[in-house]
Amino acid sequence: MGIEQSTQKAIPEKLCYFFGFPNVLLSYNTVKDEFTRSQTPQIVLKNMACVQVNESTVYLSGGIDENYQEVSNNVYRYNVEENIFRNLPSMNIPRYTHQLIYNKYDQKLYALGVRTIVLIGQGRSYGQGSEGILNSCESYDFQKGKWEMIAPMNCRRATFFSILFEQKIYVFGGYTDVRKRSKKIEKYENSQWVILELKLHYGVEQGVLYQNDKKELFILGGQSAEGIIDNHQVVDFTKQISYIGKTSNQKPRVLQKGIQIENYSVQFFGSDTLSVERGDISNLELRTYKNKVFNSITNESLKEFSIADYTFELGVIQKQIISYIVIIQEEAIYRINKNYFKDQNQSKQQKFKDYIQSTTILSNKIFLYSGALLLKDGSLIIMGGVNNQMNQISNETIKLESNFNQITKLAKMNQARYAFSYALVDNYIYVAGGRNYGNDDQGILDSCERYHINNNQWEVLPKLNEKRCSSFMIQHNGRVLVAGGFNTFKTRINTIEIYNPDFKCWEMLGITLYSPIEACTFICRSNQSNLDFITFGGRQAQDIDTVIKYSIDFDQPIDHQIGNCQQLQSLKFKGSLLQQISIDNQLFIIHQNGQQINMNSYYTSTMQLIETDINQQLMEILQELKVSNLGKLLIID
């Protein structure tokens, strides 16, 4: 790609995914400013709807075939990291040029509006004018695993816009008939659609959305009754006004794709040339790029590609996701920006200064065998634990804010505990088992609870079927599994339990771990029907060096699961309470025995043992920070 002009600061890094016919996936890196191309299974159609819900998961729905004869009601979940598509239950109505939106507040997918096949006489048509344009809507409940029809919109719409604002879904604009685009804005509230008095300045379809820090919404480009436009329409929901902005695209664009990250905008395709406009949204000074790498993909067909992006939420500007490693010690916490390992230009001393933060604002020492999770905003939640003298067990929950300079005390757990298993699932933190005061029979717990991040409340959950501490917890499709652990005096277990939210109970899986084990570390990959995870080390009668890969098929009933396990190459050391770090496509398993630190490193995709310069850099960091007690304290990745 060649830059025609450059007046902007560097754009934050983001990977953008485009799905299009014939079975093409384009990936674009905003920093590298380049596209890559790969093939997908025979499922990607024209004008599908897409939404991204996290770094690794994209949902796709509907679409129309190349002959404009068949409209799909299929729904897929795409795993970005594994490049795998999985089927979800089909929508009730075939749709294309519709909207697919994920509402994080009720954790449902919504398929809104539609163009679809209509019957005309003895034949079929994809609809001309208003034919085939519907106002129907449906939602997908992940817990029930099915689509349900909801109230229809007041207006029939296709190629329109949808956003979240103040936790509610809004729709506006869109194609309604020949040369007709809607100005009307609707809000979904109390299970009904309500038309607002506020309207767009002019009816428009097929543009892209951006916002500024004043909560002003910009509609860039698109098509009105007068044709393809290059100006920007502004909608201010606070002041209840809409107007034509003072800025415009460098090229008129329609059916372009767009993303916003921080105050930067990027628009792809949709004009008379294969081009990308990108720049600082504070003044909308866009730049034009030309590309050369699309081979047989025509400019016209790119207009029917679908971009996967997060649900647009007015008032919440998408930030660059920065990956951190957090090292927790008794008297200090260190947060390491993973860009440390990518920076080849600065000295080690300068990188320590630029990429490693520490805090010593803790009023008390961090307890041992606690639980800790790093949230997406960079804040850290620490739960429970036991003091160094093993005579004070905590039920405290604290949050180290993302500025790394402020501690907030959160609601306390209902049960003081340490050596428990835990996992972050959507807006909940689940904890299970652990230890309290008393000997093995009395002190080992079967109690469970979960913390609601949005409400700052702990909720008691049903008890496990078996008491266990030093077990591990995995999430799969929004549900949690607890496996292994120490059960009673000198006894480890190999059973696996899964929480059933519908029946509010823990169910025993029909398969078990390869052998009874506690205090191992693990990595997992999860898709719609299969769960793969790998355990490293752990303790039986003594520490072990075993590495085992498990695969569980969740298409079978809970008590008749089909699964298998495979023993991989052993660790170079025997150990329990191991720590793990992932950097790019590399995995590092770390064990500390006194002052001695051991490390195994792998390519994550193949689990092939490797040695890279990151091994040495990690060792230098651990030694420089004088890290100790890695078995009793934590590294959070």
Domains of the chain: 2-308 (2.120.10.80), 414-577 (2.120.10.80)
> Tokens representing 564?
């298998």
The dihedral over CA atoms of 592, 593, 597, 602, expressed in degrees to the nearest 10, equals -60
At 125 the pLDDT is: 45
Alpha carbon distance 407, 411 (integer Å): 13
pLDDT over threshold 60, residue 284 = no
Task: Check residue 135 and give its pLDDT.
Answer: 94
Q: Residues 601, 611: contact at Cβ < 8 Å?
A: yes
Concatenated DSSP letters of 358-392: EE---SSPPPBT-EEEE-TTS-EEEE--B-TTS--
pLDDT at 339: 86
Query: Per-residue confidence at 283, pLDDT binned at 50, 70, 90?
Result: low
Of the candidate ranges 287-296, 401-410, 596-605, the one whose mean pLDDT is the lowest: 287-296
pLDDT band with cut points at 50, 70 and 90 for residue 560? low
Q: What is the pLDDT of residue 264?
A: 86
Six-digit token pair at 581? 């770090």
The type of residue at 95 is R
Which H or E run includes 481? Answer: strand 479-483
pLDDT average, residue stretch 598-609: 88
Decide if pLDDT at 611 tops 70.
yes
The DSSP bridge partners found for residue 400 are 380, 407
pTM for the model stands at: 0.70
373-397 pLDDT tens trace: 988 778 899 999 999 999 999 999 9
Query: 61 or 29: whose pLDDT is higher?
Result: 61
For 154-188, how does the pLDDT look when each residue is reduced to its tens digit (9 = 90+)? 999 999 999 999 999 999 999 988 779 999 999 99
Neighbours of 625 (CB within 10 A): 16
Spell out the residues 6+ positions from residue 216 whose beta carbon is closer than 8 angstroms to its own: 234, 235, 236
Residue-wise DSSP of 83-94: TEEEEEPPPSS-
pLDDT given at position 529: 64
CA 229 remoteness from chain centre: 34
pLDDT at 287: 58
For position 194, what pLDDT does the model report?
97
Indicate the pLDDT class of residue 273, thresholds 50, 70 and 90.
confident
Q: Does residue 340 or residue 319 have the better pLDDT?
A: 340
Using 50, 70 and 90 to split pLDDT, how confident is the model at 130? low
Asked whether the beta carbons of 358 and 328 are under 8 A apart, the reply is no
Most confident of 298-302, 488-492, 525-529: 488-492
The mean per-residue pLDDT over the stretch 198-211 comes to 94
Convert the pLDDT of each residue in 565-580 to its tens digit: 899 999 999 999 999 9
